[in-house]
Amino acid sequence: MARLKLYLLLLGLAVLFAFGAAAAQAPVPAQAPAQALAQAQPERPDPTLLLKIGDPRLKDKTMEVGLGAILSGETGRAVAFDRMIQEMRPCRLVYIGETHNSLPMHEVQYQVIRALYGQDRHLAVGLEMLPVTVQEALNRWSAGELTKDEFLRAVRWYVNWNFNFGFYEKILDFAKEHRLPVYALNVPREVITKVRMRGWEALTDEEKAFVPTAPDLANKDHRTLIRTIFESSDIPPQMRGAGLDMMFEGLYRGQSAWDEVMSDNSVRGAESEGRRVVVCAGSGHLLYNLGLNRRAFEKSGLAGRTVVAVTIPAGAKSVRVSRTYADYVFAIAEEAKPAFPTIGLALKKVENLTNLVVESKPTEGAASRADFEKGDVVLAVDGRTYDDINELRMELAKLRCGGEVKFKVLRSGQVRDVSLKCEKAAPAGPDAKK
């Protein structure tokens, strides 16, 4: 199931489908296929790296990406960072993929944004992480009107997104410092869930304002990519069989709708003020230039380039990828642990109850090692009461390895103390230090 969850994250589904799993604490975001697979099952080859899809000129060609290198898909050869930035000069849209909990990948995004700003100050940043409903708060951030805590509350960061703000802090600080517009590219997750479950036709007129047209489902190469990821996941045996195709079709509708709305909003951002927009999104939305980047070009004709990072597994020096994988491919070392600990505690609000409630028994992160049970009523955390999920998660986001918070919960009529601890980081080996 662990590997299945990684793929569900990768595909950007808002709720786990049809497995009887409880709703998550926040929208389930898109992960980069290569990185998710490498972390989940490093002994297996990643089937997404060498697919013969995408640009017909290059889809039968491969390249070996060495640690620390940047390779151009067009030439198959190494390219200097500054040269890559120069080659992006004609592009109105630049897409930079990420695995959401990889700080090195966010550092790649930051460095590209910083370099593009040096080349052209008429720049904007587009974020998958937030829905368009919070755009006003993003405008206020860029104008320097909000502190970080005020921003996290205004955009409901830890309700709309599931990853520590620290992963994105440098990028958003840079935008604020230089007064760069930041565009929300996403939509309320319940809209995508409805498309996935019932199709675009089931949306209300109000919901169709977020997804104005039915997503195109006919691109064979994109379908091949998503199907490859889907079939490589550890789907429980009981779910295989006749229902598998139906499951995939719903999943594919959701993924396509997500790409559709983010491409719409990326193009709108680029055209509204004539800016160059740097789009930060999960790599699953960008691979082989088949996701939101393809759709944006088909809508607008605006030139774009895509940058994706791949992880080199520990002990390896390189990885082979298709030359259509992205316009530029970075190779970075595999992290022993994410920079910010995963909490893994799903919370919900219950009608007529002020306190927060544990939505499901934790199965991952620090909470999985604590004595939480589904239905626990949270009375206090370190002596403080909470009635807002975002507020509590803002506090939990401050935890670092070796830290601890103490919960007081009500379970079956009894008050219990539950300690949530984040494990200390393991000492770095010689390779990690290097």
State the total domains in the chain: 2
3-class SS of residue 348: strand
120 with 209, same domain: the answer is yes
254 with 400, same domain: the answer is no
317 with 365, same domain: the answer is no
246 with 357, same domain: the answer is no
Residue 359 has pLDDT above 50, yes or no: yes
Q: Which residues of 156-175 are buried (b: 16+ CB within 10 A; e: fewer)?
A: bbbbbbbbbbebbebbbeeb
The domain that contains 401 carries what CATH number? Answer: 2.30.42.10
Which among 145, 102, 138, 149 is positioned nearest to 390, based on CA atoms?
Answer: 149
Indicate the range of 85-94, 163-172, 335-344, 414-423 predicted with least confidence: 335-344
Instruction: Among 263, 298, 333, identify where a domain stops.
Output: 333
Instruction: Among 333, 360, 391, identify where a domain stops.
Output: 333
Are 406 and 419 in contact by the 8 Å Cβ rule? The answer is: yes
21 — pLDDT class (breaks 50, 70, 90): very low
353 with 299, same domain: the answer is no
269 with 400, same domain: the answer is no
Q: What is the pLDDT of residue 415?
A: 97
293 with 361, same domain: the answer is no
- Asked whether residue 427 is assigned to any structural domain, the reply reads no
- Asked whether residue 60 is assigned to any structural domain, the reply reads yes
Q: What is the pLDDT of residue 117?
A: 98
Q: What is the pLDDT of residue 44?
A: 66
Q: What is the pLDDT of residue 239?
A: 65
Model confidence over 329-350: pLDDT tens digits?
999 998 888 899 999 999 999 9
Q: What is the pLDDT of residue 7?
A: 40
Q: What is the pLDDT of residue 267?
A: 97
**C-alpha angle 326/17/36, rounded to 5°?**
35
Q: What is the pLDDT of residue 18?
A: 32
The domain that contains 304 carries what CATH number? Answer: 3.40.50.11550
Residue 99 has pLDDT above 70, yes or no: yes
Model confidence over 107-116: pLDDT tens digits?
999 999 999 9
pTM: predicted TM-score of the whole model, two decimal places: 0.88
- Asked whether residue 53 is assigned to any structural domain, the reply reads yes
- Asked whether residue 26 is assigned to any structural domain, the reply reads yes
Long-range (24+ apart) CB contacts under 8 A made by 374-379 are 374/22, 375/411, 376/409, 376/410, 376/411, 376/416, 376/418, 377/353, 377/409, 377/410, 377/411, 378/347, 378/407, 378/408, 378/409, 379/355, 379/408, 379/409, 379/410, 379/415
Range 296-302 average pLDDT? 96
Average pLDDT, the chain: 88
Residue 123 has pLDDT above 80, yes or no: yes
Residue 28 has pLDDT above 70, yes or no: no
Q: What is the pLDDT of residue 232?
A: 81
Model confidence over 141-151: pLDDT tens digits?
999 999 999 99
Q: Return the half-sphere exposure (C-beta side, CA atoms, 13 A cut-off) of residue 210.
A: 23
Domain limits for position 275: 2-333
How far, in Å, CA of 295 to CA of 283, rounded? 15
14 — pLDDT class (breaks 50, 70, 90): very low
397 with 280, same domain: the answer is no
- Asked whether residue 9 is assigned to any structural domain, the reply reads yes
272 with 377, same domain: the answer is no
Q: What is the pLDDT of residue 92?
A: 97
Instruction: Among 272, 305, 333, identify where a domain stops.
Output: 333
- Asked whether residue 404 is assigned to any structural domain, the reply reads yes
- Asked whether residue 432 is assigned to any structural domain, the reply reads no
410 with 364, same domain: the answer is yes
Range 245-256 average pLDDT? 92
229 with 123, same domain: the answer is yes
Q: What is the pLDDT of residue 242?
A: 64
Are 199 and 250 in contact by the 8 Å Cβ rule? The answer is: no
- Asked whether residue 136 is assigned to any structural domain, the reply reads yes
318 with 351, same domain: the answer is no
